[in-house]
Amino acid sequence: MSVVLAWIVLLPLCSSVLLGAMYLFSITKRRIAQRYFTFVALCSPSVVFVLGLAALRELMLRADALHYHAYVWLRIGEYRVDMGFLGDKLSLFMVFFITLVGGLIHLYATSYMNKDEGYGKFFAYFHLFTASMLLLVLAEGPLMLFVGWEGVGLCSYLLISFYYHDNANVVAGNKAFIVNRVGDLGFLIGLAMLFFYGGTYEFSYKTLALHIGTIPPEILTSIAIALFIGAMGKSAQIPLYVWLPDAMAGPTPVSALIHAATMVTAGVYMVARFHFLYDLVPHVGIFIAYIGALSALFAALIATKQSDIKKILAYSTMSQLGYMFVSVGLGAYDSALFHVFTHAFFKALLFMGAGAVIVALHHEQNIFKMGEMRRVMPLTYVTMLIATLAISGIPPFAGFFSKDEILSVAFGSGHYELWLIGVVTAVLTSYYMFRLFFLVFEGTHASHSQARDVGWVMKAPLVALALGATFAGFLGLPELFGGNHLIGEWLRVWKREAFHLSHLVEGILIALNVGAALAGIAIAYQKFRFYDKRVAYQPEGIVYRKFYLDELYDVLFVRSIRRLSRFIAETTDKKLVDRVVMGLSRGFIEAGDRIAWVQNASVRLYAFIMIAGIGAASCYLLVVLR
């Protein structure tokens, strides 16, 4: 039965290869109609979703985790690394929402990418991404996790620069890839140290968790930080966040699937998966929580001044990921994953709604050139409203419960400054989200007369996700509202210091959170409900310029590295290396010329040399044989 786990990973991989082969055949030999691509592209995710559900059901029926051992991947003496899949509560929970949200985004993408040149290629990459992501969450050991980790990074790169004719997209893709490499280096170092210090006879989470105690604490701290650097890159946290806003250059379904719902949560998942490690180093956890809180606040601040609809959503993603890291840092892995879960719904919905608006407006992305879309696309309007309410944390929508849980964890942990940052970020979140919402859907319309609504294939996933964004929160209903905290209970596989708050305090916190969200909405309403779009929006100031951090990075890293490269290329290479190499070859040529004098074609000289040689050999033999 547990062989299902392998098929969950293999199936999208096979369909990716199939789609790729079909695409190659289509562009080189004979055109294949788009509907065949669509068929494969939709079949595989739905089957995988069913397989995921089957595995989940199997897990519920039995007490222990599913475990499928495929074969031994590496064997070095006593040491072995298995190609095995682990389906415990955490990974199957991830599989559930990845396949659900991913499947809906696939459906949406068939409409969004309709009539695109690279339709087949797009879905080949998409399926490869799905396979990598599922491998990442189903891996039974860090090495296989790393394979998936790199796979999603690769697909992210491929999909960001999908429209490679435009140079800016290629630059954005490269940026994402390079920044992720920086993080991956940290991750790799962490893995290597773990391998070196914690390796016994195999390299899986189970044995690592058993032997983690033998690692000295200072080494453990560096391992935890190194692994977290990988998570920083993948989950776009300060300081490795710069790639995420630029990653919006890719098609909108890509932004929805990779840069909102799934891949960016890999960092959170990784920290939760290594909980046995992070449990032992709580000071690193505090560090993670602070990085998360700062990222949340920072991204929310930047988002208040942006005008590109997708960039705003990108910054909001970074901000929400910050919340998750606050939570994992404080050891409340279940709250973080609850937020991952609800976030997947409403953020995918936001991106897909934004994509629908962008398509309806013929690829206009500036929110100050939009307006009154409520009349053009009422269904999108409603679903976007739900998603916006959900991310702002208005009850009873999904985001409220998870965000509230994280904030009460922060409050209960005694780190009140983290809690305060969280609340301020919540105000900002509802402000910038409703700013976007009012500008796009309300107000006067600016300059679009030919806007037309999108087809049902794009709307159906919106509705499904809107249902998710409305009701997903009830899966984790806190005790205060009579719920039994399903997700928390389900995921409570790790020991956690309970942050017990009295119901009164919890109630006050909830009231505060809702108040904060409402305050943000009120400010946005006042400023943007009747915004006059005839005045061109020309924002200035440090916030709009993203605190000049891109410029700072440019000066600090990009330019200095470029200068170093130029120095190496022009000075070291040309003046040093080239001289040595050319000097050597010139020396050989000259020496060759000298020796070539002997080969001057004078037969008599040859004869002389020959006889001299024979004479010398004879003399030698005479001496030796004597």
Partner 1 sequence: MIVSSLFSYVLVAMLLFSIGLLGVIARKNIFVIYMSIELMFNAINLLFVALAQYRHSYDGQIFAVVIIATAAAEAAVFLALIVVLFRRKKSLDADVLRALSQKEAA
Binding region for partner 1 (CB under 8 A):
596, 599-604, 606-608, 611
Q: Tell me the three state secondary structure of residue 139.
A: strand
Q: Tell me the three state secondary structure of residue 365.
A: coil
Judged by beta carbon, residue 534 or residue 604, the one nearer partner 1 is: 604
Count of other CB atoms within 10 angstroms of residue 607: 10
Cβ(46)–Cβ(104) below 8 Å: no
By 3-state DSSP, what share of the chain in percent is helix, strand and coil, each rounded to 5? 75, 5, 20
Q: How far is CA 395 from CA 298, 389, 470, 514, 515, in A?
A: 25, 8, 9, 8, 11
Cβ(494)–Cβ(274) below 8 Å: no
Please, what is the minimum distance in Å from the beta carbon of residue 622 to partner 1?
15
Judged by beta carbon, residue 504 or residue 601, the one nearer partner 1 is: 601
Residue 598 corresponds to which tokens in the numbers above?
A: 């002997």
Which residues is 558 bridged to in the sheet? none
Judged by beta carbon, residue 538 or residue 599, the one nearer partner 1 is: 599
Judged by beta carbon, residue 535 or residue 601, the one nearer partner 1 is: 601
Please, what is the minimum distance in Å from the beta carbon of residue 608 to partner 1?
5
Judged by beta carbon, residue 530 or residue 588, the one nearer partner 1 is: 588
Which residues is 139 bridged to in the sheet? 85
Please, what is the minimum distance in Å from the beta carbon of residue 555 to partner 1?
58
What element of type H or E holds 37? helix 34-61
Please, what is the minimum distance in Å from the beta carbon of residue 173 to partner 1?
53
Judged by beta carbon, residue 584 or residue 611, the one nearer partner 1 is: 611
Judged by beta carbon, residue 577 or residue 610, the one nearer partner 1 is: 610
Cβ(336)–Cβ(370) below 8 Å: no
Judged by beta carbon, residue 576 or residue 605, the one nearer partner 1 is: 605
User: Rounded to an integer, what distance in angstroms lies between the CA atom of residue 313 and that of residue 504?
Assistant: 34
Q: Tell me the three state secondary structure of residue 69.
A: strand
Please, what is the minimum distance in Å from the beta carbon of residue 623 to partner 1?
19
Please, what is the minimum distance in Å from the beta carbon of residue 589 to partner 1?
14
Please, what is the minimum distance in Å from the beta carbon of residue 572 to partner 1?
38
Neighbouring residues of 23: CB distance < 8 A, sequence distance ≥ 6:
37, 118, 119, 120, 121, 124
For 68, phi then psi, to 5°, come to -120, 120
Please, what is the minimum distance in Å from the beta carbon of residue 603 to partner 1?
5
Count of other CB atoms within 10 angstroms of residue 288: 26
Q: How far is CA 560 from CA 170, 225, 555, in A?
A: 22, 26, 7
Judged by beta carbon, residue 498 or residue 625, the one nearer partner 1 is: 625
Count of other CB atoms within 10 angstroms of residue 625: 6
Please, what is the minimum distance in Å from the beta carbon of residue 602 to partner 1?
6
For 202, phi then psi, to 5°, come to -150, 170
User: Rounded to an integer, what distance in angstroms lies between the CA atom of residue 565 and that of residue 225?
Assistant: 29
Place of tokens 């010398």: 616
Judged by beta carbon, residue 63 or residue 601, the one nearer partner 1 is: 601
Q: Tell me the three state secondary structure of residue 71.
A: strand
Judged by beta carbon, residue 33 or residue 603, the one nearer partner 1 is: 603
User: Rounded to an integer, what distance in angstroms lies between the CA atom of residue 425 and that of residue 299?
Assistant: 9
User: Rounded to an integer, what distance in angstroms lies between the CA atom of residue 519 and that of residue 522?
Assistant: 5
Residue 583 corresponds to which tokens in the numbers above?
A: 């000097």
Q: How far is CA 308 from CA 248, 313, 359, 370, in A?
A: 10, 9, 14, 11
Please, what is the minimum distance in Å from the beta carbon of residue 616 to partner 1?
14
Cβ(423)–Cβ(407) below 8 Å: yes
Please, what is the minimum distance in Å from the beta carbon of residue 626 to partner 1?
18
User: Rounded to an integer, what distance in angstroms lies between the CA atom of residue 110 and that of residue 249?
Assistant: 19
Judged by beta carbon, residue 541 or residue 592, the one nearer partner 1 is: 592
Please, what is the minimum distance in Å from the beta carbon of residue 597 to partner 1?
11
Please, what is the minimum distance in Å from the beta carbon of residue 593 to partner 1?
11
Judged by beta carbon, residue 210 or residue 607, the one nearer partner 1 is: 607
User: Rounded to an integer, what distance in angstroms lies between the CA atom of residue 334 and that of residue 351?
Assistant: 25
